[in-house]
Structure 1
């Protein structure tokens, strides 16, 4: 008699809406589908942890895009209290995202090499995470060249092009500051959103005023919520760098680019830059 494994329950045998022999919990969370999505290619001890943690990261990227998109709409509607609640939820999600590294942060090169050998060179780089690219675009880190890895998938490429050209969350926050009477130049608010954001001294001065003026206390709270978002996102990137150094060393990454150096460069890209630099003049 052959015993059926839980991994033999393929998605096609657990279609959405199936109720026979299941519970509402199983159907609502699509549990049977979830547990068929991990297909290890090796016997490496860390591959399952790598697979599941990476899938959880992707889900977190999508969740954060949902929250930051919502916060952007709330800021556009001048609803600062609602945006604050949304951003505080997002900070909690970012803590979860950072924790996903823990399942395999102690992986060594000898643990990683068998997995990497089956994944191939370049084809499975994290630069292919289009949801992560949506996330960083929402946070204001625009980079037109990062659309290139997705050119072969037109639907994804178009979605990223739309996200690149749209105002980021920070762009909408700056527009809110201008609507509230802060002297921001039009060049900071009305610009080509597809281009990387360039920090401006006028924006820095505006944030310093927000932190000193009690009449703008709600905007100060918004600034602090955004600072916490930036801090938590940077921590995730720092752990990404450390895990890569530990498991990968200085080997070339995507299309022979130096992976560690590329990640280290990303750490220098500050999210919401004037919220940090303004602290020097406060």
Structure 2
């Protein structure tokens, strides 16, 4: 009898009796399933790294959505200490997310082209990562047009539409600042959450006061935790741009849009903008 290779140890083989036995570790972490989720389409050396790194990114997107949604609930409950713990965990997750690029950061166009040919012309674009879009919406990067790539998947489209219309983490933080007595215009707190956030000088002034007034020490800590989240998210986006420039060049991406140009535009969209602009006058 030929012993199955590690990649042949699919869940169904255990059921059929070809491979028997398991362990608690294998069951809890779904190890057999995990190792059957990579289906290379080419013989390119980097494809396994590309597939696994992309899958790991998707898992981290889901983890960050879980954590930042929790942080949003904690802000709504006025529980700043719990929010700080959640945001600090999230910073660690973002560091790990950024590191996923390292597995194929040195891939060249000659390595990438065979993989891209199998992915199709935009059919398997990263723009279809609905979990990343949930994460971007949670962070306040609202863009109604980003629902369009998901129109062919109704359940995902509906979920994203709900996320687009819900307050972001930053929206709830601004509501918290207003509840704590800081002067914020109602237009900053009560608005159409599906529309992109527009930075306001009054919000910037509120953050400046938070950083100068010791009675808002916990909010200052919250501001710094949010800044770390924004910083790490920016670093991941910057790494995405760099890897794309290295492997893709100026080739068109999804719907014939310039991939590098699109990523450069996304990089310019600052998360939690007044926390950055306020530093000029602190």
Same fold (TM over 0.5): yes
* TM-score, normalised with respect to structure 2: 0.97
Distance 1:248 1:203, change over 3 A: same
Superposed CA deviations along residues 143-195 of structure 1, whole A, max 9, x for unmatched, are 00000010011100000000000000000000000000000011100000000
Superposed CA deviations along residues 124-157 of structure 1, whole A, max 9, x for unmatched, are 1110000000000000000000000100111000
Q: 1:150-161 residue pairs with structure 2 within 5 A?
A: 150-161=150-161
Aligned equivalents of 1:234 and 1:122: distance in 2?
24
* TM-score, normalised with respect to structure 1: 0.97
Distance 1:36 1:203, change over 3 A: same
Q: Does 1:22 align with 2:22?
A: yes
**Is the 8 Å Cα contact of residues 14 and 33 (structure 1) preserved in structure 2?**
no
CA-atom RMSD in angstroms: 1.2
Distance 1:21 1:71, change over 3 A: same
Give aligned pairs, total. Answer: 279
- Displacement, 1:8? 1.8
Q: 1:100-249 residue pairs with structure 2 within 5 A?
A: 100-249=100-249
SS in structure 1 of the partner of residue 43 of structure 2: coil
Structure 1: gaps (5+ residues): none
Counterpart in the other structure of 2:261 = 261
SS in structure 1 of the partner of residue 82 of structure 2: helix
Distance 1:14 1:200, change over 3 A: farther
SS in structure 1 of the partner of residue 4 of structure 2: coil
Superposed CA deviations along residues 212-264 of structure 1, whole A, max 9, x for unmatched, are 00000000000000000000000000000000000001111111110000000
Dislocated runs of 4+, deviation >2 Å: 9-15
Q: Does 1:90 align with 2:62?
A: no
**Is the 8 Å Cα contact of residues 14 and 21 (structure 2) preserved in structure 1?**
no
SS in structure 1 of the partner of residue 226 of structure 2: helix
Counterpart in the other structure of 1:99 = 99
Structure 2: gaps (5+ residues): none
- Displacement, 1:7? 1.5
Aligned equivalents of 1:187 and 1:104: distance in 2?
44
**Is the 8 Å Cα contact of residues 72 and 169 (structure 1) preserved in structure 2?**
yes
Aligned equivalents of 1:7 and 1:91: distance in 2?
34
- Displacement, 1:11? 4.0
- Displacement, 1:13? 4.0
**Is the 8 Å Cα contact of residues 108 and 246 (structure 2) preserved in structure 1?**
yes
- Displacement, 1:2? 3.3
- Displacement, 1:4? 1.3
